[in-house]
Chains A and B, each alone.
Chain A
Amino acid sequence: MNFTQQLINGLVLGHSYALIAIGWTVLLGVARLVNFGHGQMYMLGAFVTWFVMSRFGLPYLVAIPIAMAVGIGVGYLMQRTMLQLTIRQDLVSVMIVTLGFGHVLEGVAALFFGSTGQILDTPLSVRDIYIGDIWITWQDIAIIIVAILFFALLKYVVEKTRVGRLVRMVAEDPKLALLAGIDIRKIYLGVFAFEGAAVAIAAALIAPRTPILTSMGFDQVIITFVVVVLGGIGSITGSYVAGIALGLFAAFFGAYVSAAYSTAAMFVFLIVVLVVRPGGLASRPGAH
């Protein structure tokens, strides 16, 4: 296989990974929360986009905000249900509850969208570009651009704005945040709604690259987890860099070693990192 082609594939894949992980970066790194239903929310985002476009014939640019709105709704509902667990910082229970939500979402999606695979074609994904023997689609370019813009915007919001400061305050010390007059419930609900919107936009952009199935979704959790951990919990820049690195790794590993085992290989790499730096995950809550 052509090296340059793999490099491009890796970059596209890397931006995809980073974009999928953006909600988790905020959840885990900034607000100290986890969501194991992340993959299923990704699946849902892809199917809502597909449904809106294929059944209602609405344009792609309308389908994306609808998918995001559904994501916001699901994220809000999840956090509303487990708010007490979140406030008690009972992360283990939060984890299992979100796992349960993932299971429910998968059932709901299969019931509603059917269990057959679908192809999500967008106006961008069907337009190819050839430069010499290198192939790329407009969809790939859109992924890269949106990922970069989204990360830049997120970094700005978290570091420079009032909302970002409030979120960081709650993440670092919920009690002190309460005593500073911050309604931490609103922040937790907001962060989960953001997670829902972020994963939905990622899905709407990335899912057209592969056929979509209601049972997909859980690879995404692992990839996301690897990106967030390697990036250094909650570091926004770190997640971006880790996403790209992982994308390049997956592209080359898939091309030259084995495509089937690339997720497993990423995970082995992660284990090595965690064993070498066991405190890595818990090291800097609220960092950015």
Chain B
Amino acid sequence: MSAPAPATPVLEARDLSVVYAGNRALSVENFQLAEGELAGIVGANGAGKSTFANAMMGWSRGAPKVTGDVLLDGQSISALTTPERVRRGLLLIPENDLVFATMTVSENLAHAASARQAGGRRIYTTDEIYDLFPNLAERRNHLGGQLSGGERQMVGIARALRLAPRVLMLDEPSIGLAPLLVTVVLKTVRTLVDEGLTVLLVEQNVKAAIRTVDRLILLERGQILAEGPVDEMKADPRVADAYLGADT
């Protein structure tokens, strides 16, 4: 092995494959996410986007065979359990079930990483979170189950911020949200990237993704079909296909 290049990717996947009962759901040879980058994975429904995000977390529905290597800051985390990966700073905000419905917003946000776990990574305080999402400040004593879709998404992001993230993966943050709210959520994501966070956006809503990300990765049938800077990818007819296929 050669010495790490000056820019070691923050998150990396090598030959990652997920096989369900003989059917290959995902096969990604090489995926990299650079420091401070905001990348987006797009693709039609069933392309394997969520499978990819879950596999990075070491979590899966059912019992598929997962092989390959996942690296965080150049270190393999493939042998780690999901909670251990979270403690290293790899965070996934899942597609739905974003909040603990029987807990209040402030209880939802009370769960935070300890300074020791964070190892120098930033733990957002609740005050900083309420500055970022003024809506949540107003609703801090409401139960999670009473929140709107947009507020739930905010709680999801906020919880991740409390856990000292190194990399944030958002699975379909725009799903079920009104267009205006999608803009608000994605703008917040951009703010977080500007503050130094590395983010991977998993989106079916190609239009929203194109507006937000720096780099676009097109996933189809579990494989990376194309990737590149968003301005180049925009013109790619295959992206346009996905775009038309899933214009929500």
Contacts and interface: CB of A to CB of B under 8 A. Distances in A.
Contact of B92 (A179, A184, A287): A179
A173 interface: yes
Nearest to B103: A168
Categorize the interface residue count of chain A. Answer: 20 to 34
A179 B86 contact: yes
Contacts of A182: 83, 111
A178 B82 contact: yes
Contacts of A165: 103, 107, 110-111
Contacts of A168: 100, 102-103
A179 B91 contact: yes
Interface residues of B, number: 24
A155 to B, nearest CB: 15
Contact of A172 (B86, B91, B102): B102
A286 interface: yes
B245 to A, nearest CB: 28
B87 A181 contact: yes
A72 B97 CA distance: 33
A178 B81 CA distance: 9
Contacts of B100: 168-169, 172-173, 176, 286
B113 interface: yes
B92 A183 contact: no
A178 B59 contact: yes
Contacts of B200: none
Given A165-B103, A165-B107, A286-B102, A178 B97 contact: no
Given A168-B102, A175-B94, A286-B100, A183 B163 contact: no
B215 interface: no
A46 B91 CA distance: 47
Interface string A262-288: 000000000000000000000011111
Given A165-B111, A176-B97, A183 B81 contact: yes
Interface in A132-175: 162, 165-166, 168-169, 172-173, 175
A175 B92 CA distance: 11
Interface string B5-34: 000000000000000000000000000000
A165 B162 CA distance: 15
A288 B101 CA distance: 13
Nearest to B57: A179
Nearest to B89: A181
A108 interface: no
Contact of B102 (A175, A179, A284): A284
Contacts, number: 59
A176 B94 contact: yes
A175 B103 contact: no
A288 B104 CA distance: 13
Contacts of A169: 100, 103, 111
Contacts of B93: 179
A143 B86 CA distance: 44
B111 A179 contact: no
A166 B108 CA distance: 10
Contacts of B86: 178-181
Contacts of B83: 178, 181-184
Contacts of B91: 179
B159 interface: yes
Contacts of B111: 165-166, 169, 180, 182
B89 to A, nearest CB: 10
Nearest to B108: A169
Interface string B102-134: 110001001101000100000000000000000
Contacts of A284: 102
B92 A172 contact: no
A175 B97 contact: yes
24 contacts: A162-B110, A165-B107, A166-B111, A168-B100, A169-B103, A172-B101, A175-B97, A176-B94, A176-B98, A178-B83, A178-B86, A179-B86, A179-B94, A180-B86, A180-B111, A181-B87, A181-B117, A182-B83, A284-B102, A285-B102, A286-B100, A286-B101, A287-B102, A288-B102
7 closest Cβ contacts across the A-B interface?
A181-B86, A178-B82, A286-B102, A183-B83, A181-B83, A172-B100, A181-B87
